Amino acid sequence: MDSGRELTGQRSIIEEQLAYYRAVAGEYHTHTLDVPGQQELLAAITAQSPTGDVLELACGSGLWTKRLASTAASVTAVDGAPEMLELAAERVGRRAPVRFIQADLFTWKPDRTYDLVWFGFWISHVPEDRFEAFWSMVDRALAPGGSVFFFDDNHRTHRELTEGPDSPIVERRLNDGRPFRLVKVPYQAAALECRLRELGWSITVSATPGPFYWGHGGRFPPGPSTPPLDLF
């Protein structure tokens, strides 16, 4: 799939995906997922209490931003939808150590490094042909020894699969029925872990009984340095 502009005059899939999130922001709290595994996922998330500088990608309405800001030294939270950022800013309050940035994550370049890069319910929205570039950006954002924590789900309903079960594209509707196409890659934990290993990441991806999974790790540690040869 070429996620860029597919046909002249048509919105690209990533533009349409962002348009969906801009439009859904006001009713986002009504689009909940009632499937098994939520408790396990929540337990994995709440086990994280980062203390350093955190970068949160696709922060949405700030559900995790608020939690992160309660333990981290600082949080930089990025999202492409101003409507989502407004909700997030309201949720975290003015005193929280959070810098919000409105940016398209497919072109944004981090201006500093972080101890932790965090993203919830985002990786499944990254098109195949942007996967490597996305992880290069995460790599650039990580301080030496920094870690990554992410979580998502591979849940796609039959109704959403308007382009068939083999397509990464799904159709989501607003409460008023307006349809939007989104990317929803149905990752399986083991395959995602392998894919990341091939890109030089040492991230354990764990699955819950339901559709949720989470990943935690970092770059592969550099191998042991070769000792100089003692020839004389």
User: Footprint of ligand SAM on this chain (CB under 6 A)?
Assistant: 14, 17-18, 21, 58-60, 63-64, 79-81, 84, 104-106, 120-122
Residue nearer to ligand SAM on the CB measure, 14 or 92? 14
Q: How many residues does the chain have?
A: 232
Compute the least distance from the CB of residue 17 to ligand SAM, in Å. Answer: 5
- The span from the CA of 203 to the CA of 150, in Å, is 10
User: CB of residue 108 vs ligand SAM: minimum separation in angstroms?
Assistant: 7
User: In terms of DSSP H, where are the helices of 164-224?
Assistant: 189-198
Give me the least distance between CB of 113 and ligand SAM, in Å please.
Answer: 20
Four-CA torsion 33, 35, 37, 42, nearest 10 degrees: 20
Provide, rounded to whole angstroms, the least separation between the CB of residue 139 and ligand SAM. Answer: 18
C-alpha dihedral, 81 to 186 to 145 to 143, nearest 10°: -20
User: 160 is written with which tokens?
Assistant: 């959403």
Which of 71/194 has CB closer to ligand SAM? 71
- Report the alpha-carbon distance of residue 78 to residue 110 in Å, rounded: 10
CB of 26 to ligand SAM, least distance (A): 12
**How many Å apart are CA 186 and CA 161, to the nearest integer?**
12
Q: Are strands 98-102 and 74-79 parallel, antiparallel or unpaired?
A: parallel
Q: Which residue is nearest to ligand SAM (CB)?
A: 60
Report the residue number, 103 or 194, with the smaller CB distance to ligand SAM: 103
Nearer to ligand SAM, 21 or 201 (CB): 21
Residue (6 or 104) nearer to ligand SAM, CB: 104
Rounded distance between C-alpha atoms, residue 148 and residue 117, angstroms = 5
Shortest distance, CB of residue 64 to ligand SAM, whole angstroms?
Answer: 6
Of 66, 72, 183, 184, residue with least CA distance to 117: 72
84 or 203: CB nearest ligand SAM: 84
